[in-house]
Every structure is written in structure tokens, then in C-alpha cells.
Amino acid sequence: MATFTLTLHPASEGDALILTWGKAPALRHALVDLGRGGDYKPLKPLLQGLGEVELFALSHIDADHIEGAVSLFKAPDLPFKAREVWFNARAQLLAANARLAPEQRVPLGSKQAEKVSEGLAASGWPLNSRFASRVVSVDSPEGAAPLTFAGGLQLTLLSPTDQSLANLLPVWLKELIRAGLRLEDLVAPPPPPADGHVHLGGLDVEALAAMDFKPDQTKPNGSSIAFIAQYNGARVLMAADAYSDIVEASLRRLGASETQRYRLACLKVAHHGSQGNTSPGLLGIIDCTCFAFSTDGSRHGHPDPQLIARILKADPQRPKTLVFNFRQPQTLCWNVPALMQKWNYRCVFPTVGQEGRVALDLLA
């Protein structure tokens, strides 16, 4: 029997995601991000158990996605083998920048290596090897068509673009320091301040959904690797922390529109459910009733209530499922029978004792 699952693992306010596909016992896996430094140790036995992954994708350089990889590469013997790694470091940003038209190129930031590239080089795992330019970008020629993996998984790249990669260059050093990823950073810096999240009293879905969409403009998020994974006719959109407009433009290139909505078994909601990464426009061209959120709510108070209201309001007729990998104030506030009945949704939380971990059957 075919298997296709997405498992959210405990990753603090970030992502540590595993896609599994195939027919038992020949199951295959892709690992997307590794959460914060402290999230790696509890995940290690599981990674050891996988033995090998077809793809290890590090979506972008924010600490809540990549710090766990720094922990991974600290020990000389790696607990698993990656057949292929996707990661855009400074060399890839430079290559993307060089491909832009001269008037679109951005000035270069400081040269600085970071810990993950060092670790990857030592691992011997092939980096971005199926892209001739070694840049994981929708503007690389290989990004134009679905990419096939062993066992029959197909990935369609949605983000980043060459421009969104190049735009990270001027702030590369600043972002490395912020994420504690410089080779010189021996201790983790203090966490960034919360992003001005306002705790709203009560949940008025109509009012929340009517609030303006303010697009995320942080440069590392714009450089996120986002893709659709497809197996056995089911698709999941792994949105990382990508920009909504880049993902939407890619979906439209694939033929998605308001009248031909793009069918998804699940949307791994971008940026932990921040209001600025899933626009009404994007919601208007997907056909999806299952939304997965990876965050414990720390630091930024994700998911934003405006976004969940936007999702509910976008499709009031069909039953929807909200999947949360942590019980926390910003998720428990939606687990209210009156709200669930009125807006036709249910909430999925981890099994008690398994906080942070939820497995979703994408073929169900």
C-alpha cells in the first residue's frame, strides 16, 4: 500500500519537517529544515533510524530552520546520509545575482562564510547537484519542470527567484549574525525581539479576516526554498517562510487561477502562520482544506489570528482541518466548539505526550 505522509517535528517556533513516501518496506524520506539548535538532539535518534534521506533541504538561513543543522554538523559522525542537499548560501546568492539583468543586480554585502556551508562541505553530501548552476531557484532552467526523486516523488519548485536570492546579499552578514551562523559566533546571540505581534481580545473571524494583508518583506524569508511535493496523485505545498507573491506567481505559471484552483492535500502554511505570507490572492487559487502550522508560538506569537480567520473566511462552505503541532495560546484559542461549528473546521493537535509532533496522511 502506498504511503505519503508529512510529519511536523518539534522545532520550537520553526520547522523540522519530514516527507515520507513509497510502499513499505521501501519507504523514502525528505527532510526539510531542522529547527533550532536544541531541537536537534531529540530528533537525532529518529534521523539515525531513517538512515538515509533522498533530500535534505535547508529552506533559508533563519535560525528557526537552520540552527539544528549547525548542531548536526558539530559532531564528526553524521547520524544519517543525504543523497542530495538543497541550500542557497552566499555563493548561490552571488550566482543568482550575476544572472540578473545589470539594472536589477544588487550591490554585494560582506564576504563571510557560515557554519552550515562548512559542515556541508565536510559531509561530502552533494549540494544542489541537480542544478547546473548549483542555485536552487525557479529561475534555474531545472526549476522549470518537476524534479523526480527515487520512489516516484515529484517536486515542483515555487520559490525562491534569482531576485529574491540576490536581495539577501546586502544583508547577508547582518542576517548571519542575527541567526548566530557566522563561523566566529561561538555562542548564540539573544533571541530577536518579538515582531510587534498584537494579542487581540476575542476571535471575531469576520473582523480579523477583513484586516489588511501586509506582505512580509524580510529578505531571508524571501530567499526560502518552497516547493510542491507530489506522490500517488496527492500534493503538499511546503511553503517554508516564502513570500506569498512568489509562490502565487509560480502556481499561476503552473496553470492555477481563481477558476482553476490548484488542488492540494495540504498546505504547510508559510512562516508558521504569519499574516504576511499567505495572501487572499494565494488562497483564492488553491483548492485546499487542510492547513498545517509548525510553531510553538514562542518569539513571534505565531500563528497570527488574522491569517487563520482569512483561511476560514476564504472557504466557509467546506469542512476544513487546522493542524497544529503545539498546544499553545495562539492555537488553543481556535479549539472552541462554537467557533468550529460556525466556521466549519476542526483542529488537530499532537497526541498527549507527543507535543510538537503530528503526522499527516496525505493520501487519506
Q: Which residues bind Zn ion (CB under 5 A)?
A: 14, 64, 241
For the bound state, the minimum distance from the C-beta of residue 19 to Zn ion, rounded and expressed in Å, comes to 18
The one-letter code for the residue type at 234 is A
Answer yes or no: are the C-beta atoms of 103 and 152 closer than 8 Å: no
For Zn ion, the closer of residues 192 and 281 by Cβ is 192
For the bound state, the minimum distance from the C-beta of residue 271 to Zn ion, rounded and expressed in Å, comes to 6
Answer yes or no: are the C-beta atoms of 357 and 8 closer than 8 Å: yes
For the bound state, the minimum distance from the C-beta of residue 49 to Zn ion, rounded and expressed in Å, comes to 26
Any idea of the CA torsion for 227, 354, 348, 281, to the nearest 10 degrees?
A: -30
For Zn ion, the closer of residues 14 and 119 by Cβ is 14
For Zn ion, the closer of residues 34 and 209 by Cβ is 34
For Zn ion, the closer of residues 14 and 22 by Cβ is 14
How far is CA 49 from its chain centroid? 23
For Zn ion, the closer of residues 64 and 296 by Cβ is 64
For the bound state, the minimum distance from the C-beta of residue 191 to Zn ion, rounded and expressed in Å, comes to 13
How do strand 286-287 and strand 262-263 relate by DSSP bridges? Answer: parallel
For the bound state, the minimum distance from the C-beta of residue 164 to Zn ion, rounded and expressed in Å, comes to 15
For the bound state, the minimum distance from the C-beta of residue 272 to Zn ion, rounded and expressed in Å, comes to 6
Helices (H), 144-183: 162-166, 172-179
For Zn ion, the closer of residues 153 and 267 by Cβ is 267
For Zn ion, the closer of residues 140 and 294 by Cβ is 294
For the bound state, the minimum distance from the C-beta of residue 196 to Zn ion, rounded and expressed in Å, comes to 16
